[in-house]
Amino acid sequence: MRGFSDILPPASRRWGMLEERAREVLGGFGFSEIRVPILERAELFSRGIGEETDIVEKEMYTFEDRSGDCITMRPEATASMVRAYIEHKLYAADPLVKLYSIGPMFRHERPQKGRHRQFHQVNVEVFGVSQPMIDAEIMAILMHYLSLVGAAGCRLQVNSLGCPNCRLPYKEILRAFLKNHLPRLCEDCRRRMERNPLRAFDCKVPGCREIMSEAPLISAYLCAPCAEHFAAVRSYLETLEIAYEVNPRMVRGLDYYTKTAFEVVAGELGAQNAVAAGGRYDQLVAALGGPDIPGIGFAIGMERLLLILPDEPLSSGPSLFIAALGEGPRREAFSLSYKLNRAGVRTLIDYEGRGLKAQMRRADKFGARYALILGEEEQRTGQAILRDMKEKKQEEIPLSSIFEEIIRRVKGRSP
RNA sequence: GUGAGUGUAGCUCAGCGGUAGAGCACUGGACUGUGGCUCCAGGUGCCGAGGGUUCAAAUCCCUUCACUCACCCCA
């Protein structure tokens, strides 16, 4: 199906590693994993993300289930996590809750580089803290994770989108500005002017860019609390020595963001250059029927992260290949390899009864560090040959204690 | 939703009206029981699918599907 893909080995191994690292890092910072369903009632997203957004208007997989309920395959995870936070009254013991979740999202878009219909995110949310310290902290955690997994060339951009008190008046000012330049705006920006004038900032049409370079910026219109909050976030970032740039033209796609918004961009990603993005959503919990509790979070796009990771081969060859000749030895190899694998020595055998040369070739092809040769001759003499494929040296080891000898020599030695 | 490009062997691709090819990979042999190098041999294809034009279509035309990139939008 278009936009849906299989994740095959060896790539699946990288996925596993990225998820494992995320769990380690987030666990270390006191986050707990939450697993939420992939299906939710459709209205959760229209209320959370915003009725007028493209995601809700034309990108959601929404259908009626057999009982006639209107169901959506989640296009993002924050709404679900907020729903769970409210539904289970996770704020009851203490409003401060740190959660993360890993899984697939679904949007019916035309696929391109870094964009799929099923894509995967690591989502991180902190509920119950309105202080700017947490804003800086989660950005720091994000940057730490990205550098830990080896993502190079990432730039953190931050902005403040204000709160309803300052954003609404600013939107009108921006709208008025756009109206003044209406004749020179592209068709898309004219539409944006009505719906969401902020979006005009990321228009790619040169004429519009020129106009927007002179457009009023929200930073000049932030209310005192928002301006103060933003200044504090920046100063805390500096305390943690996190490199960032203020991007006053950065806009978020989802309606629920307030105050802090941030994005990690990387070149070489093509048109979709955001690897991770997030921001504060102080009204969302209340808007979805919960108490008045602030929140902040981000999502990392795993497909995009994979795109900017260096693709080291990550060889995962076995430690040992047993080359066996003849019925008796083959049975012996079969049993021995099972026991060795069980004991943590990655062992491979040949199932097809090939000749010795062919088996050695396979041992080499799979990148085995050692080869054990087990044939009729070895059965007679009671000595098997253990060959170090890398050093090209081999020695005889007694069949009577073969398991222990191999464990002793091979275990822990990587190919 | 819009636009452009590409679909031929497991992979990368050539062929662009006249019997489907190369390199790599794979399997075997040269080397009766010791891998990488070399040489030789072997198998492989609904030429993305459906329809049309033609004596003849992988090749030309139409439709459709998939992939890629860009717009829109977003992680």
In this predicted model, what pLDDT tens digit does every residue of A43-61 receive, in sequence order? 999 998 888 788 887 899 9
ipTM over the 0.85 cut-off = yes
One domain for residues A141 and A62: yes
- Looking up residue A57, the CATH number of its domain turns out to be 3.30.930.10
Residue A217, phi then psi, degrees to nearest 5: -100, 150
Instruction: Give the per-residue pLDDT at A286.
Output: 96
Q: A82 CA, B72 C1': separation in Å?
A: 29
**Into how many domains does chain A fold?**
3
Q: Compute the average pLDDT of residues A142-147.
A: 96
One domain for residues A145 and A178: no
Q: What do you get for the CA distance between the two ends of chain A, in Å?
A: 38
- CA dist A129 and A207 (Å) reads 42
Q: Which of residues 56-75 of A touch strand B (CB under 7 A)?
A: 59
Residue A366 domain boundaries? 320-410
Q: Compute the average pLDDT of residues A140-169.
A: 93
One domain for residues A190 and A154: no
One domain for residues A242 and A333: no
- CA dist A29 and A23 (Å) reads 10
Q: A326 CA, B41 C1': separation in Å?
A: 27
- CA dist A79 and A50 (Å) reads 11
Instruction: Write down how long chain A is.
Output: 415
Name residue A349's amino acid: I
State the nucleotide closest to A208 in CA–C1' terms.
Answer: B71
One domain for residues A65 and A46: yes
One domain for residues A133 and A65: yes
One domain for residues A135 and A254: yes
Residue A54 CA: distances (Å) to CA of A9, A50, A195, A289: 34, 9, 11, 23
Q: A317 CA, B38 C1': separation in Å?
A: 26
Verify if strand B has an atom below 7 Å from the CB of A1: yes
One domain for residues A192 and A148: no
Q: Which of residues 339-358 of A touch strand B (CB under 7 A)?
A: 352, 354-358
Q: For residue A198, give both structure tokens.
A: 């902020």
Q: For residue A323, give both structure tokens.
A: 């080359």
The gap from C-alpha A270 to its chain's centroid, in whole angstroms, comes to 18
Verify if strand B has an atom below 7 Å from the CB of A393: no
State the nucleotide closest to A263 in CA–C1' terms.
Answer: B75
Q: Compute the average pLDDT of residues A297-311.
A: 91
Considering A283, A308, A333, which residue would you say is the last residue of a domain? A308
Verify if strand B has an atom below 7 Å from the CB of A381: no
- A407 torsion bin: left (phi>0), alpha (psi -120 to 50), beta (else): alpha
Q: For residue A47, give both structure tokens.
A: 């209320």
One domain for residues A158 and A71: yes
Instruction: Give the per-residue pLDDT at A121.
Output: 97
One domain for residues A40 and A154: yes
Q: Tell me which of A119-128, A195-204, A216-225, A371-380 is least confident.
A: A195-204
For the stretch A274-301, pLDDT in tens is 999 999 999 999 999 999 999 999 999 9
Q: What's the per-residue H, E or C state across chain A? A: CCCCCCCCCCHHHHHHHHHHHHHHHHHHCCCEECCCCCEEEHHHHHHHCCCCCHHHHHHCEEEECCCCCEEEECCCCHHHHHHHHHHCCCCCCCCCEEEEEEEEEECCCCCECCECCEEEEEEEEEECCCCHHHHHHHHHHHHHHHHHCCCCCEEEEEEECCCHHHHHHHHHHHHHHHHHCHHHCCHHHHHHHHHCHHHHHHCCCHHHHHHHCCCCCHHHHCCHHHHHHHHHHHHHHHHCCCCCEECCCCCCCCCCCEEEEEEEEECCCCCCCEEEEEEECCCHHHHCCCCCCCEEEEEEEHHHHHHHCCCCCCCCCCCEEEEECCHHHHHHHHHHHHHHHHCCCCEEECCCCCCHHHHHHHHHHCCCCEEEEECHHHHHHCEEEEEECCCCEEEEEEHHHHHHHHHHHHCCCCC
Asked if the model's pLDDT at residue A315 lies above 70, the reply is no
Instruction: Among A148-152, A186-190, A204-208, A265-269, name the most confident range.
Output: A148-152
- CA dist A313 and A213 (Å) reads 44
Domain assignment of residue A415, yes or no: no
Q: A354 CA, B25 C1': separation in Å?
A: 19
Instruction: Give the per-residue pLDDT at A39.
Output: 96
One domain for residues A183 and A293: no
Locus of tokens 């369903």? A37
- CA dist A314 and A13 (Å) reads 9
Q: A357 CA, B11 C1': separation in Å?
A: 26
Q: Beta-carbon neighbour count of residue A74 at 10 Å?
A: 22
Verify if strand B has an atom below 7 Å from the CB of A405: no
- Looking up residue A326, the CATH number of its domain turns out to be 3.40.50.800
Q: Which nucleotides of B are covered by protein (CB under 7 A)?
A: 1-3, 26-29, 31-36, 65-75
One domain for residues A383 and A331: yes
Q: Which of A352, A358, A353 is nearest to A371 (CA)?
A: A358
Cβ atoms of residues A367 and A346 within 8 Å: no
Locus of tokens 């690292």? A21
- CA dist A358 and A334 (Å) reads 17
Verify if strand B has an atom below 7 Å from the CB of A261: no
State what percent of residues in chain A have pLDDT above 90. 66
- CA dist A183 and A175 (Å) reads 14
Q: For residue A270, give both structure tokens.
A: 């093509």
